[in-house]
Amino acid sequence: MLQIVFTEQKDAEKLKEQFFKKYIQAYVKEVAFQNKKKFMVYSETASISEEKVLLTFIEFVKKWKRTEWARSILQQQFFYHDEEECQSILEIVSEMFDGQRRELTELLDDFQEDRFLKEAFFSFRNHEGIISFDSFVTFRLKPYYKRILNYIEISIDEYKMEQDYQIFIHMLRELLKKRNHKASILHVIVEGRKVSFYNSKFHLLSQNDLMGLIDQEILIHRPLSIDSFTLAPLLSISPKTLCIYTDNEELGLVQTICNIFEERVQLFSTATFWKQKRGTFSRNAANE
């Protein structure tokens, strides 16, 4: 017989909903447990698969309690109360648990959430006929709670960096609006860390060419994050159309350029660049 006791009725009702979704007939009743008022989720169905109960319980913890605990930590330990900020940070935490932020989870040792919860559940169930959720959390989920705390700390740092990045992008967009166009079109190849600039006739622009085009005011007053070799030339030239050629559109530099120049940007593969360059030179040779 399935019997899980909660302090909060809302938790019991939520777990019952999860069981219903798995076609398990479950009920909630008020009980006296350890001389205190509690709410028990129970099922009298004898043929319930323990594996099915386990999967439902894990889903309940991940979808319901994890977010609740994370929000509580965020508000009580880090004093975040603005709903928009909380939601943004909690979204990062959720993405970390779901494996979507590997660049962040790799900052800590490996953690298999489902396996941990499964082992915790079975080890506790073996010692209790009735499962007290509060006791389960206290004696089995301390490492899990610690993991949530660690993820929140990382997520706060990531959120702050993302906010700084958005401010940085907005500042450069505003700067770009004030610039006069020094070129109708500019071709830029991004291959990893290597960035090459070509003019409208597909002639390579040397570093000296680029330095001659850079507005010195940008170099003097620029934020430290505006590098002299890529963003400063692009902002100074301010082309009407910016053709970016890359085989990896997810590169941070490519994303930053796209975010700054927005509708001016056209993305192509590096193969397209060489094809267009050959075509331009062939046409020029034919006209001579």
Instruction: Identify the pLDDT of residue 221.
Output: 59
- Of 226 and 247, the structure prediction assigns the larger pLDDT to 247
Cβ atoms 11, 132 nearer than 8 A: no
Which pTM does this prediction carry? 0.82
Q: Is the pLDDT of residue 223 over 70?
A: no
Q: Is the pLDDT of residue 222 over 70?
A: no
Instruction: Identify the pLDDT of residue 227.
Output: 77
Q: Is the pLDDT of residue 186 over 90?
A: yes
Under DSSP, is residue 8 helix (H, G, I), strand (E, B) or coil? coil
At what angle are helices 83-97 and 66-76 packed, to 10 degrees? 130
Percent of the chain with pLDDT over 90: 72
* CA-wise closest residue to 260 among 221, 208, 223, 217: 223
Torsion-angle region of 192 (φ positive above 0: left; ψ -120 to 50: alpha; else: beta): left
Instruction: List pLDDT tens digits, range 268-281.
Output: 999 999 999 887 75
- Band (pLDDT 50/70/90 cuts) for residue 23 is confident
- Band (pLDDT 50/70/90 cuts) for residue 19 is very high
Cβ atoms 237, 182 nearer than 8 A: yes
Mean pLDDT of 217-237: 77
Pairing type for strands 131-132 and 194-198 reads unpaired
Annotate 70-83 with DSSP letters as a single string: HHHHHHHTS----H
Q: How many CA atoms lie within 13 A of 198 on its CB side?
A: 18
Mean pLDDT of 4-17: 95
How many whole angstroms separate alpha carbon 45 and alpha carbon 14? 19
How many whole angstroms separate alpha carbon 203 and alpha carbon 210? 13
Q: Is the pLDDT of residue 104 over 80?
A: yes
- Largest separation between any pair of C-alpha atoms in the chain: 99
Cβ atoms 259, 267 nearer than 8 A: no
Q: Is the pLDDT of residue 218 over 80?
A: no
Instruction: List pLDDT tens digits, range 127-170.
Output: 556 889 999 999 999 999 999 999 999 999 999 999 999 999 99
Q: How far is CA 251 from CA 5, 47, 257, in A?
A: 50, 53, 10
Domain boundaries, the chain: 2-173, 180-287
- Of 1 and 174, the structure prediction assigns the larger pLDDT to 174
Mean pLDDT of 95-122: 94
- Band (pLDDT 50/70/90 cuts) for residue 205 is very high
- Of 103 and 226, the structure prediction assigns the larger pLDDT to 103
How many whole angstroms separate alpha carbon 174 and alpha carbon 1? 65
3-state DSSP of 143-205: HHHHHHHHHHHHHHHHHHHHHHHHHHHHHHHHHHHCCCCCCCEEEEEEECCEEEEECCCCCEE
Q: Is the pLDDT of residue 287 over 60?
A: no
Structure tokens, 198: 């070509």
